[in-house]
Structure 1
Amino acid sequence: MSAEQRAQRKCTSCGINIAGLSAASFDCPECGHQLHRCERCRKQSNLYECPDCGFTGP
């Protein structure tokens, strides 16, 4: 992943810019869109919504 791609990652749950190793990146279970979650939202199990298909998850 390039530095530019890392700089553009935003948490799908809260919208903050993601930096660091504790963030998670994964594909949406419904459509495969790349999603990112920050450490805080992962720990708190905050809901996320895929911007492409509307799938929501914990």
Structure 2
Amino acid sequence: MSAEQRVKRKCTSCGINIAGMSAASFSCPDCGQQLHRCKRCRKQSNLYECPDCGFTGP
């Protein structure tokens, strides 16, 4: 992964830069867009919304 790709990785829930953190990356269940979530948002089950299709999940 290039440095540019790491910089662009932000938590879909809270928006923090997650480069170098233990975070989850997964595809949106509806459209397949790559989403990222930080450890804190996953642990707290914070909602996320896909920026492409608007799908919302826990």
TM superposition score normalised by structure 1: 0.92
Work out the percentage of aligned pairs sharing the same amino acid.
Answer: 88
Question: Which structure 1 segments of 5+ residues have no match?
Answer: none
- The Cα offsets for residues 1-36 of structure 1, whole Å up to 9 and x where unpaired, read as 212101111100000111234101111000000100
Q: Which residue number corresponds to residue 38 of structure 2?
A: 38
In structure 2, runs of 5+ residues without a counterpart are none
Give 2:12's aligned residue.
12
Write out the 4+ residue segments of structure 1 that deviate beyond 2 Å after TM superposition: none
Could you tell me whether the CA contact under 8 Å between 2:47 and 2:56 is conserved in 1?
yes
What's the Cα RMSD here? 1.0
Partner of 2:56: 56
